Structure 1
Amino acid sequence: MKKALDVLIPKIIDTKHSFDVYNFRSKQDLMKKLESRLRGYSKLRNDWDFRIVVLVDEDRQDCKELKQFMVDTANVSGVRDITLNRIVVEELEAWFFGDVAALRAVYPRIPESLGEQIRFRNPDQIPGGTWEALDKTLIQYGYRTGLVKTEAAEKIALHMDPWSNRSTSFKVFRDGIINLVK
């Protein structure tokens, strides 16, 4: 996710804004450390103008419960008003399926019509996991190396157009970032 965000965020917000993407070992690691991390940021509020974005994969977890945990944690940490909590439904690869042209720029044997196939029409509802679906799709169209997630994330993100992505969770993330920096 970090590789993709490092490329995507400058496409979404004005370059006058700086940003850092912090990676955690896992979603569970982030959730365990979230409150202490946010409390630390709360102490910096008077000296520094910044915003916080917390972004996690849904990973088949109940979205409402996950979002409520994130919002409650920001609230008790004193940073709710400067924090954007977003969930990638189901996984980051859904965002890639939301931009078939970007996928094709990196993997040209994937057909232009991929997004029209019933299974891929709604990138946020691809059955069986989006990572698995992307890996299977690449193999189906002759990419026998399988999917190296970090490599694919960076390469695909380079070609993504944030304004034409079909993934609802991507659009909600994109619009949230825009509103957060206004």
Structure 2
Amino acid sequence: MHIEFLVEESSTATALKFIVPKIIGDIHTFEVHNFGNKNSLLKRLPERMKTYASFIPDDWRIVILVDEDRANCQELKKKLCDASSVVTTKKGNIVLHRIVVEELESWFIGDVAAIRAEYEKIPVSLSQQAKFRNPDAIKGGTWEELDKILKKYGYETGLQKIDFAQKVSPHMDVENNQSRSFQVFRDGLRRIIT
């Protein structure tokens, strides 16, 4: 099985390179296509899906992954599904649409042990603090919150997204992440390849 991932930015592409094999094993191949930003992905998605519909083999799957960014989830999902309908009409249920609530950083906050593997000053108790028990419910942006946490505990450069993804993703425990949107992504990915 081969999986094509369509993502909106570099830190997501970086994270997926580490966490996808942990979720589905090494027997599957995958490629991550980074569109640079959400607007570019959404604009180019219909044409990209038409191209896939014209050639995609039966053992390929497509995963579209975007950040919620405080958008209306139902409207965003409808845009993704509408753009993908050309593939699903022709090939069946081979496209997985997933929205990261609210941003990729909620997946990192959902695994404090992975963060601490590289940023040891972050307290073990972070995930027990009321604000961080449900990473997907953090208000005001998970990027901003993670940046504040890093600075608070002495990491003066704050959150450098790609560097952070490169360092923390290899340590992530895909079975025990507290982010519900991560769990939905993980389970959906496993389901689409079976």
SS in 2 for 1:152: helix
Q: Please, what TM-score do these two structures have when normalized by structure 1?
A: 0.96
Conserved? CA contact 1:74–1:80, under 8 Å: no
Gaps of 5+ in 1: none
Q: Would you say 1:35 and 2:46 are equivalent positions?
A: yes
Conserved? CA contact 1:119–1:126, under 8 Å: yes
Runs (4+) of structure 1 exceeding 6 A deviation are none
Conserved? CA contact 2:53–2:86, under 8 Å: no
Match of 2:63 among 53, 62, 71: 53
Q: Distance in 1 between matches of 2:149 and 2:31?
A: 32
Q: What is the CA RMSD across the aligned residues, in angstroms?
A: 1.1
CA shift, 1:14, in A, is: 2.2
Q: Which structure 2 residues correspond to residues 76-95 of structure 1 after superposition, within 5 A?
A: 76-77=86-87, 78=89, 81-95=93-107
Q: Which has the higher strand share?
A: 2
CA shift, 1:24, in A, is: 0.6
With 134-143 and 64-73 compared, the bigger mean Cα shift is at 64-73
AA in 2 matched with 1:153: A
Q: Please, what TM-score do these two structures have when normalized by structure 2?
A: 0.90
- Report sequence identity in percent: 52
Q: Distance in 2 between matches of 1:74 and 1:118?
A: 38
CA shift, 1:76, in A, is: 3.5
Structure having greater relative contact order (Cα 8 Å, sep ≥ 6): 1
Q: Would you say 1:73 and 2:90 are equivalent positions?
A: no
SS in 2 for 1:87: strand
AA in 2 matched with 1:29: S
SS in 1 for 2:34: coil
Q: Distance in 1 between matches of 2:117 and 2:75?
A: 37
Indicate the residue corresponding to 1:128 in structure 2: 140
Q: Would you say 1:119 and 2:131 are equivalent positions?
A: yes
Q: Distance in 1 between matches of 2:49 and 2:26?
A: 25
SS in 2 for 1:22: strand
